[in-house]
Structure 1
């Protein structure tokens, strides 16, 4: 799987993915060609899935974040598939997670303000198919939002 060199590369890469390749190679203690070969292998294996921009949504005017816990009507054979397909179409739904247990799906939703959230809730979210129960949890503060792994 991963050896110590791969872990060093990933540890340095996740701290600053925009770092120049020569700097990354130096910090990881490998040559530039070794770095390129290792990164290509990590990408091909699906371990390193790319670089992405992390946007601070409040800076763009999205002040409200809500976690919706949804229980679906599981008497309908296609309830999950149809719900998930419809939820993907709502632009303000940032995350969709499925679970085993009482709650079937969790949606992370953002809105500009409470009026916008109410409009989304009534017009787009409550109309999603096969909802048996829905619970809204208002985001108050992010205590830990780490995306790096302890490698």
Structure 2
């Protein structure tokens, strides 16, 4: 049996973390490229102890993966749009078919099933108006089961983060 220093305990499906774990997660959300030595200094722990905690956070799934956040505008994908989708039917098959197809839409960075007026919200990145119009006409309009599609081009990104409040 593997002993874990300070196990993450789940209460009602929510992880219970101590202040050091929270500090580690806050720092990694800001800069995941921090070395273990730098991270350890920031959370006032030894490097080996910090490494054990980071590995445990990965093993328990609280850190799902480490990625680089890219500058969309500098890479030619500066247009951001939100597409609200209403489906024809509300069957598990209709949802499954749509979800499978939505994952293949070029430039789609997120797809969420939502409550309210729409069944799904797609978040899409494109090069510009022409690129978005092509994506809209060639892909979004042809997603299975779509009855209504409402597009909203983002005029200004005021806040854009993946950070979870801790």
Structure having greater relative contact order (Cα 8 Å, sep ≥ 6): 1
The alignment's TM-score, normalised by the length of structure 1, stands at 0.92
1:97 aligns with 2:118: no
Q: Please tell me the root mean square deviation across aligned C-alpha atoms, in Å.
A: 1.5
Aligned pairs, how many?
151
Distance 1:116 1:139 in 2: 15
Q: Which of residues 122, 128, 146 is equivalent to 2:143?
A: 128
Per-residue deviation, residues 42-82 of structure 1 (Å, max 9, x unmatched): 11111111211111111112232210000111255511110
Q: Which runs of 5+ in 1 are unaligned?
A: none
1:63 paired to 2:78: yes
Task: From the superposition, tell whether residues 110 and 149 of structure 1 become closer, same or farther in structure 2 (CA, over 3 Å).
Answer: closer
Q: Give the alignment partner of residue 44 of structure 2, picking from 2, 17, 29.
A: 29
Q: 1:138 Cα deviation (Å)?
A: 0.8
Q: Among 36, 46, 51, which residue is 2:66 paired with?
A: 51
* TM-score calculated relative to the size of structure 2: 0.84
Higher helix share: 1
**Structure 2 unaligned residues grouped into runs of 5+:** 1-15
Aligned partners of 1:75 and 1:104: how far apart in 2? 9
Show CA shifts across 1:109-143 (max 9, x none).
12212122111111111010001111111110011
| Separation (CA, whole Å) in 2 of partners of 1:129 and 1:115 | 23
